[in-house]
Amino acid sequence: MRTPPFNLHLPTTVSEAVQISAELRAEGRETDWIAGGTDLLPNYKWHLNTKSDVISLARIEGITSVSMTEIGAMARLSEIADGGEAHPLIAAAARKVASSLIRNSATLGGNICLDTRCFWFNQGEDWRSSIDWCLKCDCGTGADCRVIVNQNELCVATYQADLAPNLMVLGAAIHLAGPEGERSLPICEFFKLDGMTRNVLREGEMVVKVTLPDEVGQWQGEYQKLRLRESWDFPEAGVAAAWRLGGDGTLAELKVATTALESIPRLHDQEVAPIIAAGWSGEESITALAKAIQQTVKPVNNTAFPPNYRKKMTRVMCERALAQLSIN
């Protein structure tokens, strides 16, 4: 299916990008940002919520840097994965995203802001027309959600990106720029539990960069990803864990986050806290934590694998991610 026509804008600075977006919206036109295009363009080709104007961030200078404590929104995933500059956990997670060809185009900002996915939504136009559309792309018909029917309020499309949970466990902050100026917030507060709103980005606001705390080098971690085809697919479930060991080699801090199980990635501090409070006992604690996290996540039936399997695998992957802590 051919991409519907749109006007492309190629600003060279962040302020120019924000200004173009504001001007277009003042004229009553709708805009989308495009970073690497590996998520937006397939959606456009399927005629999913297309806009008349698209603002490319590709020419903007100064937002492609990769270092231990700062990654620009337009840093390519291939650079993050193989450049040797990013935190090892972020690099390993980036390496697990899609294929090498996709990673050559895909970016950090695009990955964080990935549109939520659902097998009632990510389909061709004729297919969606045959089921009378769905809430996320209702084409003006007021269609209901096809996954959880008769509610017509909440989109439960799944957030299937890999980097966000890893950034969460490392305590990252996300920096935004928009018509009302710049702001930054912890990445945990960036996401909104609705498959359509997805995050706190306001109209005309864009992601500029992600920063990590100075002491991030002391943190180690592991990311486990469940997918259909090892070399290519979106995560069906993902567990990121990061920890810091104290001077005596015992566990000092632990963070666990999951992705691809709900409309947002989620940090599991609530499940981790009681286990740590009870005293870390290696394997036993891991089993208890993995079980607690399995019980918290609420996948729905809208991706390739059934929700029960994804839930069970969340426990398994949690145990695998934490295996290195089993001796402590």
Partner 1 sequence: MAADEHVSMIPAASKVGWSAEVNGRGFGDEIESGAILLDVLRDQVGTLGVKRGCDMGTCGCCTVIIDGVARLSCLTLAGEAEGCEITTVEGLATGHHLAPIQEMFSECGGSQCGFCTPGFLLTSAALLAKNDSPSDSEVKSAIDGNLCRCTGYQQIVESIQAAAEILRSDAKSKDGTAAQMDPHPGLGAGDAGE
And the tokens for 98?
Answer: 């899609």
Identified binder of partner 1 from the candidate list 19, 23, 25, 45, rule CB under 8 A: 45
Strand 181-186 with 173-178, pairing:
antiparallel
State in angstroms the smallest separation of the CB of 306 from partner 1: 23
Q: How far is CA 90 from CA 43, 85, 95, 189, 190, in A?
A: 26, 10, 9, 19, 18
- Cβ density class 26-43: b for 16+ within 10 Å, e for less: eeeeebbbbbbbbbbeeb
Q: Does residue 101 belong to the site contacting partner 1 (CB under 8 A)?
A: yes
Residues 6+ apart with CB under 8 A from 130: none
State in angstroms the smallest separation of the CB of 248 from partner 1: 38
| Cα–Cα distance for residue pair 264/58, rounded to 1 Å | 26
Q: Does residue 102 belong to the site contacting partner 1 (CB under 8 A)?
A: yes
Q: Does residue 42 belong to the site contacting partner 1 (CB under 8 A)?
A: yes
Judge whether 116 and 43 are in contact, CB under 8 Å: no
Identified binder of partner 1 from the candidate list 20, 58, 68, 173, rule CB under 8 A: 58
State in angstroms the smallest separation of the CB of 229 from partner 1: 9
Token pair 């390739």: residue = 304
Q: Does residue 186 belong to the site contacting partner 1 (CB under 8 A)?
A: no
Interface with partner 1 by CB under 8 A: which range of 50-58, 181-189, 285-293, 306-314?
50-58
State in angstroms the smallest separation of the CB of 127 from partner 1: 11
Q: Which of residues 258-317 bind partner 1 (CB under 8 A)?
A: none
| Cα–Cα distance for residue pair 188/172, rounded to 1 Å | 8
CA nearest 77: which of 61, 93, 63? 93
Q: Does residue 6 belong to the site contacting partner 1 (CB under 8 A)?
A: yes
Interface with partner 1 by CB under 8 A: which range of 132-140, 150-158, 243-251, 299-307?
132-140
- Cβ nearer to partner 1, comparing 99 with 281: 99
Binding residues vs partner 1 (CB under 8 A)? 1-8, 10, 34, 36-38, 41-42, 45, 47, 50, 52, 54, 56, 58-59, 78, 98-102, 104-105, 125-126, 129, 133, 139-141, 231-232
